[in-house]
Structure 1
Amino acid sequence: MIPTHQQRSFGIDYDKNTFVKDGQPFRYISGSMHYARVPRPSWQDRLRKIRSTGVNTVQTYVPWNYHERTISTYSNLEDLNDFIALVNQTGLLIIVRPGPYICAEWDMGGLPAWLLKTPSIRLRSSDTDYVAAVDRWMAVLLPMIYPWLYQNGGPIIAVQVENEYGSYGCDANYLRHLLHLFRLHLGNDVLLFTSDEPKLKSLQCGSLQGLYSTINFGSDTNATEAFLLQRKMENKGPLVNSEFYTGWLDYWGHKHSTKASSMIAHALDTILSTGASVNMYMFEGGTNFGYWSGADYKTTFLPVTTSYDYDAPLSEAGDPTDKLFAIRDVIRKYIDEPLDPVPPPALKYPYGFVPMRLYNEVIELLHFLAPYPPVRSKYPIDFEQMNQSHGFLLYQTSLPKAFELHTPLKSSGIHDRAYVALNGTFQGVLERDGVGAVNVCGPKGARLDLLVENMGRIGFGHQIHEHKGIVSNVTLGGEILNRWFITSLDMEVPLPELHDMDRKPLPHSTGPAFYTGSFTLPRSVFTSPRDTFLRLQGWTKGFVWINGGNLGRYWSLGPQQTLYVPGSFLSPFLPNNVTILELEHSPCSSGTTRCLVRFIDQPILGVASQALLDQPSLPEIH
């Protein structure tokens, strides 16, 4: 008999150390997938593949800043609602992690940057300004979640409160406030829990009576020892690993991270053999489209790559990997029901070379890119004071006197990269934790431009309070520069319109500039555009838009060498517009005919495969 809504229940039997679903012992085997990192048209495909592995539950974060980009203005809420509905239709359960802080290597750990406009605010604490903002947000989010709770006929079996709080703070009043807030909006029947790293102090500071305490650990941690730590907080109840790491993330300038399938399968087998419930983080990582990639800080600033492939069982493009089948073989030992066949990978297509042309330099497009007039300030002000969260700010001043010799331009407060030009001529880059000076020379009154890029806000640790932009004075030859004009640049919505505007005929450019091109799909894929991967060989650093959709950041520094292009971004019949913001040097800069990008049928996230290396060199375009 199928339980009615009144009979449906999900909770904990402490005497039997197990979850109980509708009165029966239950163990969840879950996989993480983030709806904000996977294109909506691909959700169903990914969920079907997850389910075919024997997984019965999906876990997802809710990034606050994705939904409340400016105070009390909400967007994309239907994404969460529709994702939960689709999970339900697929026959899976779901665990929701609404934060308010989520980490996830997401920009600022999911917290909105506008919180920092209050100078004295203490994030992730019982600070009244912070709590007031959390209360407003949760009053919008949690009532939307409520109808989807398992007890109400939906698929949500548990809701996490905060995330790894013990690694950050030890404010029991803050956790107590969140507990009361979640109970106010979700009621007393839903299972609320916390998760923390396998350290006793973290578990003690991150736990609270009334919130079930779980633990996070990967394949390199002894499962028995980790679960003994959980038992110090919960002497009865189910063992739970809320983040079993199937891989790891990548940082720009570092080696591509991988985890052996055999190691992951063995560790998962060990966890399941104890009777524990587990969530695999990630099952599919997806993509940090747009400006959503975050950063870490470990002695230096570590921006996260656009790809969040994570070496997960499902690739960034949603393809089953050897790791998925190894995990599937483990899971089938612990479940009775037969498994569905694993759906095949989506077809990919190498659309080939697309010629690009210089459209115009950024500085020449301020009338188009700047939504507001510049702000005048004696000294530089940051993104937060300019009411901007992501992207770019342009700082402009003039040389106070003539500098006939090359003179060092410096600032210790570049967050995160400044592209320097003098009278429109590119001079070089000032870089956080990197290049600290650029030499310039010029006459008195020469215009100095610093286009400053936010490379992603730190999402873990106490540095989440960081501000972006130029956060300390700029000096030239030791003299502090003042009288700045600061301009916010809108690098999101209007970019596709560049293809409809008149081009400025320029032979080539060095420094921040836009390039445009287009291509049409071959007839063989007219009806269903296929996924592809954009290779930007010869380009240095910037962003790419396809038909207005922001694919994210590229950087020749690596390890990532391609950008994932979902087929849903492409038009089957109309020309597909490609827009590139190149910030430093393009292959077009020399004026040669090699001003190209290339669409290939497989990703390059680290070292190029031999098959790709063996492919012919770029052709000449006439």
Structure 2
Amino acid sequence: MAPKKPLCFPSLLLLLLTLLRPQADTRSFVVDREHDRFLLDGAPFRYVSGSLHYFRVPRVLWADRLFKMQLSGLNAVQLYVPWNYHEPEPGVYNFNGSRDLIAFLKEASIANLLVILRPGPYICAEWEMGGLPAWLLRKPNIHLRTSDPDFLAAVDSWFKVLLPKIYPWLYHNGGNIISIQVENEYGSYRSCDFAYMKHLAGLFRAILGDEILLFTTDGPQGLRCGSLKGLYTTVDFGPGLLSKADNMTKIFALQREYEPHGPLVNSEYYTGWLDYWGQNHSTRSIIAVTKGLEKMLKLGASVNMYMFHGGTNFGYWNGADEKGHFLPITTSYDYDAPISEAGDVTLKLFALRNVISQVFQGVLERNTKHKLFLTGKMGAKLDVLLENMGRLSFGSNYSDFKGLLQAPILGQTILTQWLMFPLKVDKLVKWSFPLQLLKNSHPQTPSGPIFYSTTFPIFDSVRDTFLFLPGWTKGQVWINGFNLGRYWTKRGPQQTLYVPKPLLFPRGVLNKITLLELENVPPQPQIQFLDSPILNSTLHRTYIYSLSADTRSDSKPMELSGH
């Protein structure tokens, strides 16, 4: 939920310095069949993901749920796209409000989560008609999920609307979508129509290109009809199939029959189960779920947990099953998931987070060697901005110098005549720099180093608070000229900075905040003031200020209640 009149940044300053950090030549997400793994930008990678359905969660709560997933240790979110939710009648499309798929992708990006997209056309998901529009049945002889010309014509029309929308969000295009599923557990359907699957694969390739990774997902018994050459085969199973010690090995061995080389992937590891009206609530024990996850991670597998947050079947959107008799699915899609239907974190979440935290994800440290490719003309000047992250405070070597400790070498040439000097940033901030320097300036790039600065009022009594910077990466913050310290939201575990009451001006006097972001700025910059710290937990109550380049002096904070 956003304020009615968001508080906006009146000034921005882009530092005239270049922050040097390693970057891949191009963004890519590919299968490394030689070493049985994924590569992200050329580096070994595996995802630990969770399913969340934007269509089961009010839009105002998307950010809350995504950040709880990110704080749980996940690096990706998996989601379906229900066709019937966006095309209620033929040719009538709705991508507004809680149907704004692109807005959800943006929220996932702010939460630093990659995206695994499952656009169907059939999605199952215990959703009304598996996501297929009921108006398809107006043609009484139509054969759904087959190469029936009537069905393919409707699918083609829908995908020619949907797929161009997500194209800019593919990872190699600068977005966060790393892979896309074709159909959904097609091997469990009676038709086994390979012509249909080939048509879908061709349609995805024609619109999205050849770089995006396309995959299929099927249970152990559905791989024969659900797999297709050219689409990466993945499996799905939950702890219920792991009662015997060697069952996991057997299931992954089935995947190996279709993918002899490449990463092991469980695209749906069930953290709970769905509920039917008139039956008991389904649960999965914490011990069973965590043990299964731990075993898969030790095998080096990439895993998506279905569901990580279930949500609600609002309105008439619940699906149903036929198992000898009609079984409608309940309104609640709680799924006994790690994040409850109401957004509360559970003991299952903390147990899963403990397992995930044992997996080494890889970090870039100061003593790691990197290659940096520079372009420039002879005689050009190179500026290097170095951040002092603290000098050694324990150990045998306290001589922790900062700066260029030896002359850089370009090819065989030693680069000399370097001028090193400290930036007096604190003094500049106290002198109201950069707030008074530029008005209504727009950054040319979302990358730092860059200053953001604005003012904000306090409408109630002044008290201690905690500053939360969702989506920001790493930098420094000043309140009324006082340096609060470093934030490193992306690294964690600390997510908030303590703002003591004496630093804030009382009602009637504007407070000033200045941020120096060193790396990446979120697409829609926001700051939040919380009643409680997030040191490795979730928030309860927030005041949110939207930070944009427009100027509105009459902005007011919006109080939100959450979990």
TM above 0.5, yes or no, is yes
Deviation at 1:528, TM superposition (A): 4.3
Q: Which residue of 1 aligns with 2:538?
A: 344
Deviations 1:92-125 (A, max 9, x none): 1000000000000000000000000001100000
Map residues 373-452 of structure 1 onto 2, 5 A cutoff: none
Check 1:342–1:312 CA distance in 2 against 1; reply closer, same or farther (3 A cut).
farther
- Please say if residues 146 and 186 of structure 1, whose CA atoms lie closer than 8 Å, have aligned partners that are also in contact: yes
Deviation at 1:242, TM superposition (A): 0.1
Check 1:128–1:187 CA distance in 2 against 1; reply closer, same or farther (3 A cut).
same
Deviations 1:338-375 (A, max 9, x none): 6534443647xxxxxxxxxxxxxxxxxxxxxxxxxxxx
Which moves more between the two structures, 62-71 or 216-225? 216-225
Output the CA distance in 2 between the equivalents of 1:88 and 1:225: 36
Deviations 1:534-566 (A, max 9, x none): xxxxxxxxxxxxxxxxxxxxxxxxxxxxxxxxx
Deviations 1:430-457 (A, max 9, x none): xxxxxxxxxxxxxxxxxxxxxxxxxxxx
Deviation at 1:147, TM superposition (A): 0.2
Output the CA distance in 1 between the equivalents of 2:492 and 2:132: 39
Q: Which residue of 2 aligns with 1:478?
A: none
Output the CA distance in 2 between the equivalents of 1:530 and 1:27: 35
Q: Equivalent residue of 1:220, what SS?
A: helix
TM-score normalised to structure 1 length: 0.55
Deviations 1:178-200 (A, max 9, x none): 0000001100000000000111x
Map residues 521-540 of structure 1 onto 2, 5 A cutoff: 528=559, 530=561
Q: Which residue of 2 aligns with 1:207?
A: 227
- Please say if residues 126 and 174 of structure 1, whose CA atoms lie closer than 8 Å, have aligned partners that are also in contact: yes
Deviation at 1:269, TM superposition (A): 0.3
The AA in structure 2 aligned to 1:215 is V
- Please say if residues 195 and 206 of structure 1, whose CA atoms lie closer than 8 Å, have aligned partners that are also in contact: yes
The AA in structure 2 aligned to 1:72 is G
- Are 1:14 and 2:36 counterparts? no
Q: Which residue of 1 aligns with 2:213?
A: 191
Q: Equivalent residue of 1:319, what SS?
A: coil
Output the CA distance in 1 between the equivalents of 2:103 and 2:304: 22
The AA in structure 2 aligned to 1:288 is N
Deviations 1:61-108 (A, max 9, x none): 000000000000001266110000111121110000000000000000
Q: Equivalent residue of 1:103, what SS?
A: coil
Q: Which residue of 1 aligns with 2:341?
A: 316
Aligned partner (choices 42, 50, 59) of residue 61 of structure 2: 42
Q: Equivalent residue of 1:44, what SS?
A: helix
Deviation at 1:3, TM superposition (A): 3.6
Check 1:278–1:265 CA distance in 2 against 1; reply closer, same or farther (3 A cut).
same
Q: Which residue of 2 aligns with 1:260?
A: 285
Output the CA distance in 2 between the equivalents of 1:302 and 1:165: 21
- Please say if residues 319 and 344 of structure 1, whose CA atoms lie closer than 8 Å, have aligned partners that are also in contact: no
Output the CA distance in 1 between the equivalents of 2:220 and 2:71: 30
Q: Which residue of 2 aligns with 1:250?
A: 275
Output the CA distance in 2 between the equivalents of 1:83 and 1:306: 22
Map residues 41-440 of structure 1 onto 2, 5 A cutoff: 41-76=60-95, 79-168=100-189, 169-199=191-221, 202-221=222-241, 222-336=247-361, 340=493, 341-344=535-538, 346=540
Q: Equivalent residue of 2:106, what SS?
A: helix
TM-score normalised to structure 2 length: 0.61
Q: Which residue of 2 aligns with 1:548?
A: none
- Runs of 4+ in structure 1 off by over 6 angstroms are none
Q: Equivalent residue of 1:166, what SS?
A: helix
Deviation at 1:224, TM superposition (A): 1.0
Q: Which residue of 1 aligns with 2:46?
A: 27
Output the CA distance in 1 between the equivalents of 2:22 and 2:232: 28
Deviations 1:356-400 (A, max 9, x none): xxxxxxxxxxxxxxxxxxxxxxxxxxxxxxxxxxxxxxxxxxxxx
Output the CA distance in 1 between the equivalents of 2:228 and 2:252: 18
Output the CA distance in 1 between the equivalents of 2:540 and 2:157: 41
Output the CA distance in 2 between the equivalents of 1:47 and 1:253: 32
Output the CA distance in 2 between the equivalents of 1:309 and 1:184: 38
Deviations 1:472-520 (A, max 9, x none): xxxxxxxxxxxxxxxxxxxxxxxxxxxxxxxxxxxxxxxxxxxxxxxxx
**Matched residue count:** 352
Check 1:339–1:322 CA distance in 2 against 1; reply closer, same or farther (3 A cut).
farther
Output the CA distance in 1 between the equivalents of 2:134 and 2:48: 34
Deviations 1:30-85 (A, max 9, x none): 00000000111111111111011110000000000000000000012661100001
- Please say if residues 54 and 339 of structure 1, whose CA atoms lie closer than 8 Å, have aligned partners that are also in contact: no
Higher relative contact order (CA 8 A, sep 6+): 2
Output the CA distance in 2 between the equivalents of 1:293 and 1:342: 35
Query: Which sections of structure 2, spanning at least 5 residues, go unmatched?
Result: 1-20, 242-246, 364-490, 494-534, 542-556
- Please say if residues 319 and 346 of structure 1, whose CA atoms lie closer than 8 Å, have aligned partners that are also in contact: no
The AA in structure 1 aligned to 2:240 is D
Q: Which residue of 2 aligns with 1:523?
A: none
Identical aligned pairs, as a percentage?
57
Deviation at 1:335, TM superposition (A): 2.6
Check 1:167–1:189 CA distance in 2 against 1; reply closer, same or farther (3 A cut).
same
Check 1:183–1:255 CA distance in 2 against 1; reply closer, same or farther (3 A cut).
same
Q: Equivalent residue of 2:341, what SS?
A: coil
The AA in structure 2 aligned to 1:291 is Y
Q: Equivalent residue of 1:137, what SS?
A: helix
Output the CA distance in 2 between the equivalents of 1:302 and 1:70: 27
